[in-house]
Structure 1
Amino acid sequence: MDTVNTRFKLAEATGEAKYIADRHYEGLLEGRFFRSSCSRGVIKAVYVPELPEGYHLFGAKDVPGHNVLPIVEIDWPAFAEKEVRYIGQVIFLLVGPVPDVIEQLLQQIKVEYSPLTPAYTIEQSKALIDGAIHSTDNVFDTHALTKGDIDEGFAQAVTIIEETCSTGYQEHIYLETQGVVGYPQDGKVVIEGSMQCPWYVHHCMAVVLGHDHVRAIQCPTGGGFGGKEDYPDVLAGPLAVAVEKLQQPIRIVLERSEDIAFTSKRHPVAFHYRTGIDKHGNIVAMDVTFDVNSGAYLSLSGIVLQRSITTVTNVYDIPNVRVEGHAWATNTVPTGAFRGFGSPQTCFCIETHLNHVAKQLGQDPAAFKQRHFLQSDSTTLTGAKIFGDLVLDQMMARITDLSDYSQKTRSYLDQAPNTATRKGIGMAIFQHGCGFAGDLEDTLVRAKIRLIKEPDGNVYILASNTDIGQGLSLTFCKIVADSLCKPLESVHLAIPDTGVVPDSGPTVASRSIVIVGYLLEKAAEKLKSCWVEGEHQELEEVYRKPDYHVWDQNTYQGNAYQVTSYGVNVVEVDVDMATGETQITGAWAVYDIGRAIDAQVFKGQIDGGLVQALGYGSCEKMELTSDGVFAQKTMADYVIPTALDVPSIESDLVDNPYPYGPNGAKGGGELTHNGGAAAFAAAVELAIGKPFSSIPVTPEKVCEALYAEKMAVVIKANDQGAQYEY
Structure 2
Amino acid sequence: MDTVNTRFKWEEATGAAKYIADRHYEGLLEGRFYRSSCPRGRIKSVTLPSLPDGYHIFGADDVPGQNVLPIVEIDWPAFADQEVRFVGQVIYLVVGPDPDVVDSLLNEIHVDYEPLTPAYTINESKALKDGAIHADNNVLDTHMLTKGDIEAGFANAVTIIEETCSTNYQEHIYLETQGAVCYPQDGKVVLEGSMQCPWYVHHTMAVVLGHDNVRAIQCPTGGGFGGKEDFPDVLAAPLAVAVEKLQQPIRLIFERGEDIATTSKRHPVTFHYKTGVDANGKIIAMDIKFDVNAGAYLSLSGIVLQRTITTATNVYDIPNVRVEGHAWATNTVPTGAFRGFGSPQNCFCMETHIHHVAKEVDADPVTFKQQHMLTSQSQSLTGAEIFGELVLDEMLQKVLDMSDYQRKFAEFNLSKESHFDHCIGKSTGKNKGIGLAIFQHGCGFAGDLEDTLVRAKVKLVKEPDGTVQILASNTDIGQGLSLTFRKIVADTLNKSIDLVQIAVPDTGIVPDSGPTVASRSILIVGYILEKAAKKLQKMWLEGESQEIVEVYCKPDYHQWNQDTYQGNAYQATSYGANVVEVEVDMATGEAEITGAWAVYDIGKAIDGTIFRGQIEGGLVQALGYGSCEKLELTQDGVFAQRSMADYVIPTALDVPAIGSALVDNPYPYGPNGAKGGGELTHNGGAAAFAAAVENAIGVPLSSIPVTPEKVCEALADGKSTQIKTISAGNGEPINED
Q: TM-score, normalised by structure 1?
A: 0.97
Q: How does 1:670-709 map to 2 (within 5 A)?
A: 670-708=679-717
1:511 is displaced (CA, Å) by 0.1
The 8 Å contact of residues 436 and 688 in structure 2, kept in 1 or not, is answered as: yes
**Structure 2 residue 674 is matched with structure 1 residue 665:** yes
1:272 is displaced (CA, Å) by 0.1
1:708 is displaced (CA, Å) by 3.6
Identify the residue that residue 146 of structure 2 maps to in structure 1.
146
**Structure 2 residue 339 is matched with structure 1 residue 330:** no
In 2, the alpha carbon distance for the partners of 1:709 and 1:183 equals: 61
Q: How does 1:137-286 map to 2 (within 5 A)?
A: 137-286=137-286
Aligned sequence identity (%): 77
Q: How does 1:578-593 map to 2 (within 5 A)?
A: 578-593=587-602
In 2, the alpha carbon distance for the partners of 1:168 and 1:32 equals: 30
User: Aligned partner of 1:425: which letter?
Assistant: I
User: Aligned partner of 2:697: which letter?
Assistant: I
The 8 Å contact of residues 20 and 179 in structure 2, kept in 1 or not, is answered as: yes
User: Aligned partner of 2:82: which letter?
Assistant: K
Identify the residue that residue 634 of structure 1 maps to in structure 2.
643
In 2, the alpha carbon distance for the partners of 1:707 and 1:339 equals: 34
In 1, the alpha carbon distance for the partners of 2:433 and 2:602 equals: 28
The 8 Å contact of residues 158 and 276 in structure 2, kept in 1 or not, is answered as: yes
Q: Classify the secondary structure of the residue corresponding to 1:477.
A: helix
Q: How does 1:78-477 map to 2 (within 5 A)?
A: 78-415=78-415, 416-418=418-420, 419-477=428-486
In 2, the alpha carbon distance for the partners of 1:275 and 1:361 equals: 12
Deviation string, structure 1 residues 272-313 (Cα, Å, up to 9, x no partner): 000000001000000000000000000000000000000000
Structure 2 unmatched runs, 5+: 421-427, 720-737
What is the total number of aligned residue pairs between the two structures?
710
In 2, the alpha carbon distance for the partners of 1:417 and 1:561 equals: 48
1:707 is displaced (CA, Å) by 2.3
In 1, the alpha carbon distance for the partners of 2:366 and 2:251 equals: 53
User: Aligned partner of 2:607: which letter?
Assistant: D
1:105 is displaced (CA, Å) by 0.9
Q: Classify the secondary structure of the residue corresponding to 1:180.
A: strand
1:413 is displaced (CA, Å) by 1.1
Q: How does 1:473-512 map to 2 (within 5 A)?
A: 473-512=482-521
In 2, the alpha carbon distance for the partners of 1:567 and 1:657 equals: 15
In 2, the alpha carbon distance for the partners of 1:14 and 1:69 equals: 37
Q: TM-score, normalised by structure 2?
A: 0.96
In 1, the alpha carbon distance for the partners of 2:656 and 2:57 equals: 50
In 2, the alpha carbon distance for the partners of 1:117 and 1:435 equals: 39
User: Aligned partner of 2:218: which letter?
Assistant: Q
In 2, the alpha carbon distance for the partners of 1:346 and 1:417 equals: 34
User: Aligned partner of 1:433: which letter?
Assistant: G
In 1, the alpha carbon distance for the partners of 2:160 and 2:561 equals: 32
Q: Classify the secondary structure of the residue corresponding to 1:65.
A: coil
In 2, the alpha carbon distance for the partners of 1:708 and 1:610 equals: 30
In 1, the alpha carbon distance for the partners of 2:404 and 2:272 equals: 33
Q: How does 1:37-56 map to 2 (within 5 A)?
A: 37-56=37-56
Deviation string, structure 1 residues 520-574 (Cα, Å, up to 9, x no partner): 0000011001100000000000000000000000000000000000000000000
1:709 is displaced (CA, Å) by 5.5
The 8 Å contact of residues 419 and 429 in structure 2, kept in 1 or not, is answered as: no
Q: Classify the secondary structure of the residue corresponding to 2:653.
A: helix
Q: Classify the secondary structure of the residue corresponding to 1:414.
A: helix
The 8 Å contact of residues 699 and 718 in structure 2, kept in 1 or not, is answered as: no
In 1, the alpha carbon distance for the partners of 2:703 and 2:656 equals: 23
Distance 1:293 1:65, change over 3 A: same
Q: Classify the secondary structure of the residue corresponding to 1:339.
A: coil
Deviation string, structure 1 residues 362-421 (Cα, Å, up to 9, x no partner): 111111000000000110000000000000000011111100011111111111233411
**After alignment, is 598-607 or 628-637 more displaced?**
628-637
In 1, the alpha carbon distance for the partners of 2:120 and 2:682 equals: 27
Identify the residue that residue 5 of structure 2 maps to in structure 1.
5
Identify the residue that residue 609 of structure 1 maps to in structure 2.
618
Deviation string, structure 1 residues 476-526 (Cα, Å, up to 9, x no partner): 000000000000000000000000000000000000000000000000011
Structure 1 unmatched runs, 5+: 711-726
Q: Classify the secondary structure of the residue corresponding to 1:106.
A: helix
In 2, the alpha carbon distance for the partners of 1:688 and 1:122 equals: 30
In 2, the alpha carbon distance for the partners of 1:62 and 1:204 equals: 16
User: Aligned partner of 1:252: which letter?
Assistant: L
1:535 to 541, 544, 550: 544
Deviation string, structure 1 residues 610-633 (Cα, Å, up to 9, x no partner): 000000000000010001110111
User: Aligned partner of 1:666: which letter?
Assistant: K
User: Aligned partner of 1:680: which letter?
Assistant: F
Q: Classify the secondary structure of the residue corresponding to 1:645.
A: coil
In 2, the alpha carbon distance for the partners of 1:311 and 1:283 equals: 17
The 8 Å contact of residues 469 and 503 in structure 2, kept in 1 or not, is answered as: yes
